[in-house]
Amino acid sequence: MALSDPQGILASPLTIINRTDERADVEAIVALVRQNQVGRVIIGLPLSMDGRQSQQAEKVKAFVTVLRHHIDVPVEFRDERLSTVSAKRLMQGVKKTYKTKYDAMAAALILQGYLDEAL
């Protein structure tokens, strides 16, 4: 997960939620949304390289349908193709202990793309 600054200019990695089960995952996201007073949730949508929706994208959409019943803020999808690859490139040379945070960095890149388009 990632958050932006209050002005919506800069995205930063926040945390990684290790998937356990749907209920626990939703509760973790809801808690972070409330704790950080999030006004909009941007969800990475894993499209295939040709832009079609993959099976994983369908799973993400089903999860978001459940999530929307538990939060009162808008939820939007954003193409996440190659976000992890970009995160790994950005983190080359960083201490190995931080390399497990690729997903959080990828989330920040997805959010930053959204913020840049909104400006």
> Quick check: 6 pLDDT over 70?
yes
The predicted pLDDT at position 8 comes to 93
Q: Residue 43 — pLDDT band, cuts 50, 70, 90?
A: very high
- Per-residue pLDDT tens for 68-85? 999 999 999 988 765 655
Architecture of domain 2-114: 2-Layer Sandwich (3.30)
Structure-token pair, residue 27: 């509760």
**Which segments of 4-82 does DSSP mark as H helices, in order?**
22-35, 55-68
- Per-residue pLDDT tens for 45-60? 887 778 788 898 999 9
Identity of the residue numbered 70: H
* Annotated domain spans of the chain: 2-114
The answer to whether 56 touches 47, Cβ cutoff 8 Å, is no
Count of other CB atoms within 10 angstroms of residue 19: 10
